[in-house]
């Protein structure tokens, strides 16, 4: 049986930290930024951790296959 390929779309969007946590980029930072406050844009710059257990399991399966 051949090796399974990892999902490239997921690997480009989600990074795995050294401790194994999954980090994703925040949405809403691509356009229409003039209507958003500076505080909101500043917070959108930071990555956020994926905390939902079902999502972690699904994404881990896609990355590590």
Domain of residue 58: give its range.
7-12+47-65
The answer to whether residue 62 sits within a structural domain is yes
Which residues in the chain show pLDDT less than 70?
65
- Cα–Cα distance measured from residue 10 to residue 30, given in angstroms and rounded to the nearest whole number: 19
Gap between the terminal Cα atoms of the chain: 13
Does the residue 31 lie in any domain? Answer: no
**CA–CA dist 30, 58 (Å, integer):** 26
What per-residue confidence (pLDDT) applies to 1?
81
pLDDT at 2: 87
The tokens of 38 are what? 């500076």
Q: Is residue 61 part of a domain?
A: yes
Residue 20 placed within a domain: no
The number of folded domains in the chain is 1
Report if residue 26 sits inside a domain: no
Q: Note the pTM of the prediction, 2 decimals.
A: 0.78
């Amino acid at each position: 049986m051949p090796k399974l390929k990892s999902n490239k779309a997921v690997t480009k969007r989600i990074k795995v930290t050294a401790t194994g946590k999954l980090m994703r980029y925040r949405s809403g930072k691509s356009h229409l930024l003039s209507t958003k406050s500076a505080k909101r844009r500043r917070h959108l710059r930071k990555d956020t951790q994926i905390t939902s257990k079902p999502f972690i399991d699904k994404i881990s399966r896609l990355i590590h296959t």
